[in-house]
Amino acid sequence: MLFPPALRQLMQQLERLPGVGARSAQRLALYLIRRPEEETRRLAESLILARERTRLCQRCFFLSEAELCELCSDPSRESEVICVVADPRDVVALERLEQYRGLYHVLHGLISPAEGVQPEDLRLRELVERVRAETPREVILATPANVEGDATALYIARLLKSMGVRVTRIAYGMPVGGELDYADAATLGYALSGRQEM
Amino acid sequence: MQLHALRLSGFRNYTRAHIEPSPRVNILLGENAQGKTNLLEAIYYLSAFRPLRPVREADLIQWGAQEMRLTAQYETDGLTDELQIRLHAQGKRVITLNEQPVARPSALVGRLSVVCFTANDLTLIRGEPADRRRFLDTEISLLSPRYAHAVAHYRRALEQRNNLLRAYLEGAASLESLPEWNAQLVKYGARLFQARRQFLERLNTLAETTHRALTRRAESLQLQYQPGLPVRAPLPEKEEDWADALMSALHQSAGEELRRATTLYGPHRDDFQILVQGYEARLFASQGQQRTCALSLRLSEVALVESIRHAPPIVLLDDVFSDLDPARRQSLVAYLTPRTQTFITCTDLSAFDEATLRDAAQFEVREGTVSRHA
Ligand SMILES: Nc1ncnc2c1ncn2[C@@H]1O[C@H](COP(=O)(O)OP(=O)(O)OP(=O)(O)O)[C@@H](O)[C@H]1O
Ligand SMILES: [Mg+2]
Ligand SMILES: [Zn+2]
């Protein structure tokens, strides 16, 4: 016995989401169609709205609804320091500390041949151009403390050092292999203040 | 190191069991397929946090059960610990030490220190280089969490580097990030080389002595490290020297590597030779000699752990008496028993002399139950 077509299609769509298997897709779909219609409509609308409105900041590639993100358009941020991170979630994790006052640059990934990600697939050319144009005082590399994060940091350091900019790496007193997103505020704060020259 | 009590529930073929072993020799007696090895595996799992045999962790849970639970009380460095592992069928694992949840179990690997002998140890002698590398990785990891970390990172760096070489061969990538992957490979590779050299050097010294004891001074045993590098003896002393050696091997083999799209040098190509009376045991030793070699390696490990931890580990002996003549059986038991808590599985008692039997605690294992013999 199969589910009716429209429901089945919903299940198939949900199953394509990361971390959702066939069973949880069924559970979610059955849950969603039993909720009040108003609620389902709002969910669908926010999905479309988020999709339509959100784009990448043209300067740092964090998520934004305008040409420039809130951070890049905030005149009180120090624009001579750029912190390079792998993922937009890392920006949020670092901002939660209320310690860092500079700007960011989001790579949207790490170099990882095993996943088919080469340097040119990341926002690296944009970083080099940005450093050339903005001549920051310091670039802080805050990629995670794993093999890919280290390799990416070394690669960036090699690119930027020839341009004469100071490049540092955040000090990982944090759990090895840990992601910024999961690190607790204390270790992350320590990592940021105790950074090392590359 | 001494295990005072062990409680099992929903583990392998044990629905519920409890054992209070003796601090010396514990004989687990039972027919085939009753649960003797499973009991050793429970102890091993509490030490290494992974199964003794190559199965998924969830396979440790009794068929049809939702959860398994192991609780051990043991003494280490004069302190008593209570270590518990709970594993759910869905894969969730909770480890507590003295009722406190343990966030990073990897830091606790080997706290309950255990050395395990199985019939499978023969693959150390007869098997592939990969079998011997696995032995090195498991054993050194129990002694050093830093090593375990380097192993995982080395594997990842190697995988990345090989993927890059392959993508390049297929025209799908440039070699722009190769220097960085070289750097990662060399960083962790040098750590593995250095730790393996050190470990084998110490093990070699101990193996010589233990093997002489097991064979009543008749045979010599030597271990020779053969790093996956074009280096000749003497081997590098420091981690930096290994790093330099590996880096220059990578540079020299660059052309060949690009043609074959794989990393030709590094600890993933390591091996070590086992020599009995100067001849390679894999090729020239008899069945019983090979068995004795494997035992000597494990025994040396016992001595090594003891010298590092200042107390002997718990020793698990699973079906190790086959292929050994009575004299070697006795030497083995005599070598271990004075100070070491030992668990020996067997299907009959013929391997033991009277004195051993008198001092040992005997447990009868039957259909997933274990009871002490008076
Ligand atoms: N997850 C499990 N649930 C229930 N039973 C299991 C599980 N895993 C293994 N068994 C059973 O446990 C039984 C005992 O296994 P074990 O390896 O401990 O036997 P043994 O006493 O060491 O026998 P032998 O003398 O042949 O080595 C096996 O028959 C096996 O089928
Ligand atoms: Mg068995
Ligand atoms: Zn921005």
All structural domains of chain B, each given as residue ranges with its CATH number in brackets, are 1-113+311-374 (3.40.50.300), 121-310 (1.20.1050.90)
Q: Which residues, at least 6 apart from B155, have a Cβ–Cβ distance to it below 8 Å?
A: none
Nearest CA in chain B to A154: B180
| B68-77 mean pLDDT | 94
End-to-end Cα spacing for chain A: 62
Q: Whose CA is closest to A77, among A56, A58, A100, A94?
A: A100
| Contact of B9 with B344, CB cutoff 8 Å | no
CA–CA dist B295, A14 (Å, integer)? 55
CATH of the domain at A134: 3.40.1360.10
Q: Per residue in B204-245, pLDDT tens?
A: 999 999 999 889 889 999 999 999 999 878 999 899 999 999
Q: What is the pTM of this model?
A: 0.83
DSSP string spanning A25-63?
HHHHHHHHHHS-HHHHHHHHHHHHHHHHH-EE-TTT--E
Question: Could you list the residue range(s) of the whole structural domain that residue A40 is in?
Answer: 5-53
Q: Does A21 touch chain B (CB under 8 A)?
A: no
Q: Which of A13, A32, A53 is the last residue of a domain?
A: A53
In a domain, A58, yes or no: no
- A150 and A85 in a common domain: yes
When computed from its CA atoms, the radius of gyration of chain B, rounded to whole angstroms, is 22
- A69 and A45 in a common domain: no
Report the number of distinct structural domains present in chain A.
2
- A45 and A69 in a common domain: no
- A106 and A36 in a common domain: no
Question: How would residue B328 be classed by pLDDT, with cut points 50, 70 and 90?
Answer: confident
CA–CA dist A147, A154 (Å, integer)? 11
Residues in the ligand 1 pocket, defined by CB under 6 Å? B 12-13, 30, 32-38, 59, 61-63, 319, 345, 347, 365
**Phi (first) and psi of residue B132, to 5 degrees:** -70, -35
In a domain, A146, yes or no: yes
pLDDT of residue A189: 65
- A49 and A76 in a common domain: no
CA–CA dist B331, B288 (Å, integer)? 14
CA–CA dist A182, B156 (Å, integer)? 21
In a domain, A187, yes or no: yes
- A112 and A148 in a common domain: yes
| Contact of A158 with A124, CB cutoff 8 Å | no
**Ligand 1 centroid distance, CA of B75 (Å):** 28
- A49 and A78 in a common domain: no
Instruction: Give, for ligand 1, the residue of B36, B44, B345, B347 to mutate: max count of ligand atoms closer than 8 Å to Cβ.
Output: B36
| B157-170 mean pLDDT | 97
| B34-55 mean pLDDT | 94
Residue A19 region by backbone torsions, left for phi larger than 0, else alpha for psi between -120 and 50, else beta: left
In a domain, A59, yes or no: no
CA–CA dist A193, A188 (Å, integer)? 9
- A124 and A146 in a common domain: yes
CATH of the domain at A35: 1.10.8.420
Higher pLDDT, B317 or B337: B317
In a domain, A198, yes or no: no
- A95 and A24 in a common domain: no
| Contact of B299 with B124, CB cutoff 8 Å | no
Exposed/middle/buried for B196, CB within 10 Å: 0-12, 13-18, 19+? buried
In a domain, A91, yes or no: yes
CA–CA dist B334, B353 (Å, integer)? 10
- Listed by number, the residues of chain B in 135-174 with a beta carbon closer than 8 Å to a beta carbon of chain A are 149, 152-153, 156-157, 159-161, 163-164, 166-167, 172-174
When computed from its CA atoms, the radius of gyration of chain A, rounded to whole angstroms, is 20
Does the pLDDT at position B184 exceed 90? yes
ipTM (interface predicted TM): 0.82
What does the DSSP 8-state code read for residue B18? E
- A101 and A41 in a common domain: no
| B242-259 mean pLDDT | 96
Share of chain B above pLDDT 90, in %: 73
Structure tokens at B348: 């009959």
pLDDT tens for each residue of chain A, 198 residues long: 589 999 999 999 999 999 898 999 999 999 999 999 999 999 999 999 999 999 999 999 999 999 999 999 999 999 999 999 999 999 999 999 888 999 999 999 999 999 999 999 999 999 999 999 999 999 999 999 899 999 999 999 999 988 999 999 987 654 444 455 555 665 666 667 767 888
Structure tokens at A65: 């609804």
Q: Does B262 touch chain A (CB under 8 A)?
A: no
Strands (DSSP E) contained in chain B are 2-11, 14-19, 25-29, 67-76, 79-88, 93-97, 100-101, 114-117, 221-226, 271-276, 279-280, 314-318, 342-346, 361-366, 369-372
- Chain B: nearest CA to A112, how far in angstroms? 6
Q: Which residues, at least 6 apart from B79, have a Cβ–Cβ distance to it below 8 Å?
A: none
pLDDT of residue B351: 79
| B274-292 mean pLDDT | 93
Q: Does B107 touch chain A (CB under 8 A)?
A: no
Q: One-letter amino acid identity for B147?
A: Y
Share of chain B above pLDDT 70, in %: 100
pLDDT of residue A179: 53
CA–CA dist B311, B305 (Å, integer)? 8
Helix axis angle, A147-161 to A124-134, nearest 10°: 40
Structure tokens at B148: 């375990």
- A77 and A174 in a common domain: yes
Residues facing B68 on adjacent strands? B87
Q: One-letter amino acid identity for B172?
A: A
Q: One-letter amino acid identity for B373?
A: H
Which SS3 state, helix, strand or coil, does residue B308 take? helix
Q: Which ligand is nearest to the CA of B34?
A: 1
Q: Per residue in B299-317, pLDDT tens?
A: 899 988 888 888 899 999 9
Question: How would residue B6 be classed by pLDDT, with cut points 50, 70 and 90?
Answer: very high
Question: How would residue B61 be classed by pLDDT, with cut points 50, 70 and 90?
Answer: very high
Helix axis angle, B145-169 to B129-143, nearest 10°: 140
Q: How far is CA A171 from CA A94, A140, B181, B240, B258, in A?
A: 14, 10, 20, 22, 35
- A152 and A107 in a common domain: yes
In a domain, A9, yes or no: yes
Nearest CA in chain A to B179: A155
CA–CA dist B80, B71 (Å, integer)? 13
pLDDT of residue A177: 46
Q: Can you tell me which residue has the tokens 């049809």?
A: B64
In a domain, A127, yes or no: yes
pLDDT of residue B37: 97
